[in-house]
Amino acid sequence: MDRRTVLRATVAGGAAAFAGSLWSGAALAAPAQPGTGPYGPLGTADGNGIQLPAGFTSRVIARSRQAVPGTSYTWHNAPDGGACFAAGTGWIYVSNSEVTPSGGASAVRFAADGTIVSAYRILSGTNQNCAGGATPWGTWLSCEETSRGFVYETYPQGGTAAVQRPALGRFKHEAAAADPVRQVIYLTEDETDGCFYRFRPTVWGDLSAGTLEVLVAGTATSGPVSWARVPDPDGAPTATRNQVSGAKRFTGGEGCWYADGTCWFTTKGDNRVWAYDVVGQRIDLAYDDSLVTGGTAPLTGVDNITGSRSGDLYVAEDGGNLEINLITPTGVVTPFLRVTGQSSSEITGPAFSPDGSRLYFSSQRGTAGVSAGGITYEVRGPFRS
């Protein structure tokens, strides 16, 4: 069985395995059993209320409305989508703020040993900045999740003003992912009848001009697709999703991640993870909780998504039991971490440090269950490479 087949999951003790491999096409020897994920079962909650596999630890790096440790900068409310960028011998973690008005985005800079060096604002005066995506040239695309929202290109290193990028379309933006080989930016739309887009810049590395296209396909969950130009990326008076006949509808587009010829994206309305094969130009289901048999679906409330050096996908939950779930290249689906005592929150912004040794994420509303209660975490441990 290969990626072109809708993969069915079977559950055993809270872990799940697809009937075939998502990446290599090799069949699994047997359904996954408890503890067969790469890091084993979750332990008891640590002092931060996070359950992690053995060998992993967590720390809080920021709290909404409080100064980031070691700095005088006050962290934003409702931390959402995020990414990491190399910065000299250290790195930077950027995070959106999903509030209206004055959402924007902030950054935390780390030294080589993980010490926090500084924190600062990289985008101001925008609304409902939900997710986004990193570019190969080191900028962060911060997306407004509002009707006819914009994408803003921001500069994690600081010192350069953010730039509005209307050529990427005006719609209810969620996430973005860059494909450096085909030189396109993929975009998700958070509408119940939203679409999946790609932007082809006139010049790669310059997002001021280019062509916005929408994915066109039938109603099937797998098969070949095509792309059609969106006539009016400004989205008025006709919304971008309604301008092209045959544009495929997705129920609430969320996270988006590109790696090795596949663009993965999630849809919250039907709790699915999709795989767009950029070479074969086809879409397939990588995960669908309605196809889980033999137990409870391990992953519900799909949202932000990121990948690791090993090819593992990490999918954050908005709902469910507040986990980041792992999908391995062999099709195992299993919890990697669980946040306890924060049932009114959601997990956002998963991103790995450039060396792959640290995972960052946020609990958007924290223990208080309000946007002012957001908490941003770092997890360290023996991540496989």
Annotate 123-136 with DSSP letters as a single string.
Answer: E-S-S-EEEEEE-T
Helix, strand, or coil here: 290?
helix
Please say whether the beta carbons of 162 and 150 come within 8 A: no
Enumerate the β-bridge partners of residue 51: 338
End-to-end CA distance of the chain: 26
What CA–CA distance (Å, rounded) separates 375 from 366? 6
pLDDT per residue, tens digit, the chain (385 aa), is 233 333 333 333 333 333 334 443 323 233 222 236 899 999 999 999 999 999 999 999 999 999 999 999 999 999 999 999 999 999 999 999 999 998 999 999 999 999 999 999 999 999 999 999 999 999 999 999 999 999 999 999 999 999 999 999 999 999 999 999 999 999 999 999 999 999 999 999 999 999 999 999 988 789 999 999 999 999 999 999 999 999 999 999 999 999 999 999 999 999 999 999 999 999 999 999 887 766 678 899 999 999 999 999 999 999 889 999 999 988 889 999 999 999 999 999 999 999 999 999 999 999 999 999 999 999 999 999 8
> pTM here?
0.92
Pairing state of beta strands 282-288 and 272-277?
antiparallel
Identify the pLDDT of residue 293: 66
Please say whether the beta carbons of 277 and 284 come within 8 A: yes
What CA–CA distance (Å, rounded) separates 17 from 13? 11
What CA–CA distance (Å, rounded) separates 361 from 208? 30
- Give the number of other CB atoms < 10 A from CB of residue 42: 20
DSSP 220: -
Enumerate the β-bridge partners of residue 228: 214
Please say whether the beta carbons of 307 and 313 come within 8 A: yes
What CA–CA distance (Å, rounded) separates 284 from 33? 25
Cα torsion 372, 373, 378, 383 to 10°: value is: -110
What CA–CA distance (Å, rounded) separates 326 from 334? 5
- What ranges in the chain are assigned the alpha helix state H? none
Identify the pLDDT of residue 296: 78
